[in-house]
Amino acid sequence: MSDNQNNPLSRRKFLGNTSAALAAFGALQVASGQEAVPIRSKDHHLINETETQPKNKMLDDQNPSSNWPPTTDAGGQQPFKYSFSLSHKRIEGGGWTRQVTVRDLPISKKMAGVQMRLIKGGIRELHWHVGAEWAFMIGGSARITAVDQQGRAFVDDVNEGDLWVFPGGIPHSIQGLGPDGCVFLLVFDDGNFNEFETFLLTDWLHHTPPEVLAKNFDVPASTFANVPPKELFIFERDLPRPLAEEKHQVEAVTGPVPNTFAFFTSKMAPTKVTKGGSVKIIDAKNFPASNIAAAIVTLKPGGLRELHWHPNEDEWQYYVKGSGRMSVFAAGGRARTMDFQAGDVGYIDKSTPHFVENTGDEDLVFLEVFPTPHYEDISLAEWLAHTPSRLVNEHLGVGEDFLNKISKKEAVVDPE
């Protein structure tokens, strides 16, 4: 290899000269009356756009922004989407579950998610996790229970649109109610979380010597003869007793938890409403028990979750219904657009700007979840509106009239 090839300055000069030569060639084409040859078409009919190899048409149709990316996409931004449809489903007598973790979506370092279905009477057995659990009821109804460090009890019923949170180490359970049980989403503040390796009551007692159990509870060892030989995990049993009766029972002596673990989002007025949709923000300000912040976003057809970023934490997304696309700008000239449908997971690193747009003909509903008690975001429009207009115009050349008309208050969802 020559000295010039080893010299980064010489290489840069060569690349610069090559780019200049290509630009000059294009100018010569125009000057000589030759039309520039297009390399993209709206219907992808050009010879350089044709696909002659076998392909997965259904997958291509669901992901047009990857198959035919917008010209603004560039660089090697890693994928930030994974679908629950690709996850292994564990099916038990009382329902099923599946998960998306960092093992499936490598960018999802700080959070993981679980989908679960419980039939009427189906129980996710008494258990706990190291990390916190945040949950959203996708459909149906459930009875949830928990006990805190002071022995204070919690039991309540949640319905579609409601949510709950159980801090790390707090033992709890979930049971599907009638007539068709429930479907819900669980989000954990640990990307390495594994739903199939939680602390289960039956599993623990099965692995504890009977004589130790007898001594612990001061009863004969035969009391534990019917402890299952393996974990129950998800199983079917009779429906629980009336809520008022169970509350009275569990709250005896020590009383209830000081801050409820349930939040009835279905009864909450939106935090912000515009022509383009609405958003509900739930964090420690209105849900004191929660150390996980969230936003429930609804975009009408054509609506836009405006250009923004979150300065305090990573964002984990779940798409509840509808279809849309999200572009993420990862700095260094890297940007990528991906398409999302119901059941998909998205992930955005802290302080990384992005937008979400409804590309379908029905409402797009998705969740933004953050492993922090407090929700924070910074809007591009709000940033520009509160920066001297001359300074911004010197960057963008859009005119100060336009800049002065930008709303001083964050839109969250466009159009306002």
pLDDT computed for residue 23 by the predictor? 44
pLDDT per residue over 318-330, tens digit each? 999 999 999 999 9
Segment 83-92 shows an average pLDDT of: 98
Provide long-range contacts, Cβ within 8 A and 24+ apart, for 283-287.
283/373, 283/374, 283/375, 284/373, 284/374, 285/374, 287/165, 287/263
Token code pair at residue 297: 């976003």
Catalytic annotation on 368? yes
308 is in an annotated binding site: yes
Say if residue 30's pLDDT is above 70: no
125 is in an annotated binding site: no
Where does residue 280 rank: exposed (0-12), middle (13-18), buried (19+ CB within 10 A)? buried
pLDDT per residue over 269-293, tens digit each? 999 999 999 999 999 999 999 999 9
**CA dist., res. 393 & res. 15, Å (int):** 32
Say if residue 81's pLDDT is above 90: yes
410 is in an annotated binding site: no
Cis before 179? omega within 30 = yes
**CA dist., res. 267 & res. 283, Å (int):** 16
pLDDT per residue over 382-394, tens digit each? 999 999 999 999 9
**CA dist., res. 175 & res. 152, Å (int):** 20
The amino acid present at 48, given as its one-letter code, is N
pLDDT computed for residue 286 by the predictor? 97
pLDDT computed for residue 39 by the predictor? 85
207 is in an annotated binding site: no
Query: Which of 125, 236, 368, 382 is flagged as catalytic?
Result: 368
Query: Dmax over Cα atoms in the chain, in whole Å?
Result: 100
Least confident interval from 23-37, 162-176, 250-264: 23-37
Say if residue 342's pLDDT is above 60: yes
H or E element that contains 403: helix 400-405
All domains in the chain, ordered by first residue: 3-67 (no CATH), 82-263 (2.60.120.10), 270-414 (2.60.120.10)
- Cβ neighbours of residue 42 under 8 Å, at least 6 residues apart? none
Cα distances from 208 to residues 64, 84, 215, in angstroms, run: 54, 36, 12
Say if residue 10's pLDDT is above 50: no
Token code pair at residue 160: 């579609």
**What's the full length of the chain, in residues?**
416
**CA dist., res. 170 & res. 42, Å (int):** 54
Say if residue 235's pLDDT is above 70: yes
The average confidence (pLDDT) of the chain is 92
Segment 23-39 shows an average pLDDT of: 57
Segment 355-379 shows an average pLDDT of: 98
